[in-house]
Amino acid sequence: MTGANGMLGGRVAAAARGRGHDVFPTDLPGLDLTDAQAVFDHIGELGPDAVIHCAAYTDVDGAESDEALALRVNAEAAGHVAAAAGRNGAFVVAVSTDYVFAGDGDRPYTESDVPSPQGAYGRTKLRGERAVQEVGTPCAIARTAWLFGAGGKNFVDTMLALAARHDEVRVVADQVGCPTWTGFLAPALVELAERRLEGIHHLAGGGRCSWHELAAEVFRQAGSDCVAVPVTSDEFPRPAPRPAWSVLGTERAAGPRLPPWQEHVTAHLKERQAS
């Protein structure tokens, strides 16, 4: 698997080991995925049955100012991984994002909806999806959204840190999506690889909420007296556009399903407390 040092990648490695698989995690500086020959050599030496590709350039604002770098990581490297995996008969699971959509919908985006990314990050991730699909390797594209979990900076932990220092926190209320805990997503990605479920899959927390509603639920479950104050996106301008509507749904009759987003918050808070 790739991106093993990241918030999601580390969780995927643990989930795969927990299901009895041998895992060969990779990340920088050990393997530069933009180096095609290095990728082919590495995957050829390992001979895996599947590759779960979690590595990505995830700095949304950074991608807006350096789209060329984001493209090399999110698209070209993804193509190298898929091609090398295919040469060795391995199935590929490539992680993608809700940002491939325009964000102007009013119903959940499903797998057959036409992508129309509005920012550089979404454009490069969509190019990555197509790079994986075009090499002809058996693959699954797993789109997800609003990730949080142990081992990386995330919205939920940021809110908890702010709540420890402030009586109230201003939180954007006009962006809606599907909060997703890595602890639920990771085994679903492993399942895609185990079952070799080809095609596009939407895997995110069930239901929907705004960032403000997510913060309020985090404070409620954590027993915090901090108040989440709703504000508009215009009050927090960012270099890159954020989708106002990032709700993912699925039209697939079979495949992994993730629980409602509130359960994702509960599980993450329990894990934090235990650790």
Specify the CATH number for the domain of residue 47. Answer: 3.40.50.720
- Residue 183 domain-assigned? yes
- Residue 166 domain-assigned? no
CA distance 216 to 220: 6
Q: What's the predicted TM-score (pTM) here?
A: 0.96
| Sequence-distant (≥ 6) Cβ neighbours of residue 20 within 8 angstroms | none
- Residue 222 domain-assigned? no
Q: Which of 57, 99, 109, 121 is catalytic?
A: 121
- Residue 66 domain-assigned? yes
- Residue 212 domain-assigned? no
SS (H, E, C) 228-253: EEEECHHHCCCCCCCCCEECECCCCC
Tens place of pLDDT per residue across the chain (275 aa): 999 999 999 999 999 999 999 999 998 899 999 999 999 999 999 999 999 999 999 999 999 999 999 999 999 999 999 999 999 999 999 999 999 999 999 999 999 999 999 999 999 999 999 999 999 999 999 999 999 999 999 999 999 999 999 999 999 999 999 999 999 999 999 999 999 999 999 999 999 999 999 999 999 999 999 999 999 999 988 889 899 999 999 999 989 999 999 999 999 999 999 98
| Sequence-distant (≥ 6) Cβ neighbours of residue 173 within 8 angstroms | 210, 211, 212, 213, 230, 231, 232
CA distance 111 to 4: 27
Whose tokens are 């779960």? That residue is: 52
The total number of structural domains that make up the chain: 1
Whether 121 sits among the annotated catalytic residues: the reply is yes
The domain in which residue 77 lies consists of 7-154+178-207+247-259
- Residue 59 domain-assigned? yes
Q: In one letter, which amino acid is 237?
A: P
